[in-house]
Structure 1
Amino acid sequence: MEVTSKNRTKTTQRIIDALEDEISDMGWQGLRMNRIAEKANVSKTLIYRYFGNLDGLISHYLQLDRFFPVFTDQILAHIRPVEKSDLARIWYRQVIQTYRSFRSSKPARELLKATLFEHDPMADAISQTVDKELTRLVEQLSFIEGFDTKAISAVMLGGMSYLTIMAQNNRPVVGLDLRSEEGWKRIEDTIRLLYIAVNKLAIETDEIKLESQIDDQWS
């Protein structure tokens, strides 16, 4: 049983690697199960058995830490704020690091582009999984109650997704060259400033409270 489990893990890794190569080579719209199976040196039947269909395979890939960070309870315990003003740093670091990862990975950028397509079942499945994973990150790192962190995050993450896609298409936005490091430095500096302002508002407003488990650390 142990050998079978190890073999499945290795086989799954080959399939995921083959999928990633295909996304880089063909884009998400050019994905074909035949080519993925051939690159992974497995049968299509095996891929269907492991993942159900192509949508299931892509969904599995999107939930891996190579695309989105996976926070266990142990990891979350280490990134909890020590001071109330630490909230901004946690928020902007996560956004900046996530989108740096997207920009450095062609498969990630290709799948991010799919979220803009309408009336396409695969694009719908990709969009739903991307949104699910982004929502998970936001909920894990909110740390406050009485403040609409989801709406704030929708503005921040939606803007960063759009800018990343425009950079992929080699198009400027409001005159900023998103193909350059200087352009992205200006974007990231602004993200920091915006989250610092949000953090200041959050801790100075009486209606907004930090989660009880964090209050306990500061009591």
Structure 2
Amino acid sequence: MERKSAAGSIRNKERSKKKFLDAVGKILRTKGYTALKVNSIAATAGVDKKMIYSYFGGIDGLIDEYIRSQDYWSRVTIEEIEKIKPKLDDGGKSFMEEMFLSQFDYVYTNKEAQKLLLWRLSEPRKALKKLTDTQEENGEYIFKLLMDPHFKDNAEDVRSIMAIMVSGLYYLNMYAAINGSIFCGIDINTPQGRDKIKKAVSFMLHHTYENL
């Protein structure tokens, strides 16, 4: 009976934690990050606000965990990369192509990720800075594992190209979601338009690998 009770407590805890995380996402989507307060999160989750401190150590811990769960590149962890075991013989080209195209779709379909991006550009916050640091750490691992050995003296040039591609894909999705869907005559909100962007990503990536 004690084992069942302990297991039940663990399940209840996980359900409550998920309710809190979902509540953060809902508030972020509908009201923005300025509305993320303990009372509003607890009311939205339908769970006693004391549990925020019990489960996460406070609202900062809750928001930190939420942020980690939402950002695409921070979830491409070193551990996950090692599980995938990307091909090394093509200098990471196929791996990076898959990552770019997946990121493009992820941000487009995930409204919370879009709000999180806006938040990162609008407010200095330790959790957001930590997220950026995690991204850089994971990105550095990818570069050193796949791209630096392949491109050698041109590695820094390739990093610059990748920076433009990542930020460009972020911006296109944000622009289409907030201010309009047409950018340079391409409708980012249509399958045809998105397919054109994806083909352009593949073209730029292949061109980079062929010419550097």
TM-score of the superposed pair, with normalisation by structure 2: 0.77
Which has the larger share of helix? Answer: 2
Secondary structure of the 2:121 match is coil
Query: Which of 155, 159, 180 is equivalent to 2:190?
Result: 180
Secondary structure of the 1:47 match is helix
Indicate yes or no: 2:210 matched with 1:200.
yes
User: Judging changes above 3 Å, is the alpha-carbon distance between structure 1 residues 5 and 136 closer, same or farther for their aligned structure 2 residues?
Assistant: farther
Indicate yes or no: 2:51 matched with 1:46.
yes
Question: Which residue in the other structure is 1:9 paired with?
Answer: 14
Question: Which residue in the other structure is 1:24 paired with?
Answer: 29
Give the total of aligned pairs.
196
Alpha carbons 2:108, 2:173 under 8 Å: kept: yes
Counterparts of 2:204 and 2:33, CA distance in 1: 33
User: Judging changes above 3 Å, is the alpha-carbon distance between structure 1 residues 16 and 36 closer, same or farther for their aligned structure 2 residues?
Assistant: same
Q: After TM superposition, list the pairs within 5 Å mapping 1:1-219 onto structure 2.
A: 2-3=6-7, 4-64=9-69, 67-68=71-72, 69-71=75-77, 73=79, 76-81=82-87, 83-84=89-90, 87-117=92-122, 120-121=123-124, 124-125=125-126, 127-142=128-143, 143-145=146-148, 146=152, 147-148=155-156, 150-171=159-180, 172-202=182-212
Q: What whole-Å deviation, never above 9, does each CA across 1:153-180 have from its counterpart, x for those lacking one? A: 3211111111121111132322322222
User: Judging changes above 3 Å, is the alpha-carbon distance between structure 1 residues 182 and 128 closer, same or farther for their aligned structure 2 residues?
Assistant: farther
User: Judging changes above 3 Å, is the alpha-carbon distance between structure 1 residues 22 and 116 closer, same or farther for their aligned structure 2 residues?
Assistant: same
Counterparts of 1:81 and 1:36, CA distance in 2: 43
Counterparts of 2:80 and 2:170, CA distance in 1: 28
Q: Percent identity?
A: 21
Alpha carbons 2:64, 2:127 under 8 Å: kept: yes
Alpha carbons 1:79, 1:90 under 8 Å: kept: no
**166-175 vs 104-113, which moves further:** 166-175
Alpha carbons 1:170, 1:178 under 8 Å: kept: no
Residue segments in structure 2 that go unaligned for 5+ positions in a row: none
RMSD: 2.7
TM-score of the superposed pair, with normalisation by structure 1: 0.75
**25-34 vs 98-107, which moves further:** 25-34
Alpha carbons 2:120, 2:128 under 8 Å: kept: yes
Alpha carbons 2:67, 2:128 under 8 Å: kept: no
**Deviation of residue 140 (structure 1)?**
3.8
User: Judging changes above 3 Å, is the alpha-carbon distance between structure 1 residues 130 and 198 closer, same or farther for their aligned structure 2 residues?
Assistant: farther
| Aligned-partner residue type, residue 173 of structure 2 | T
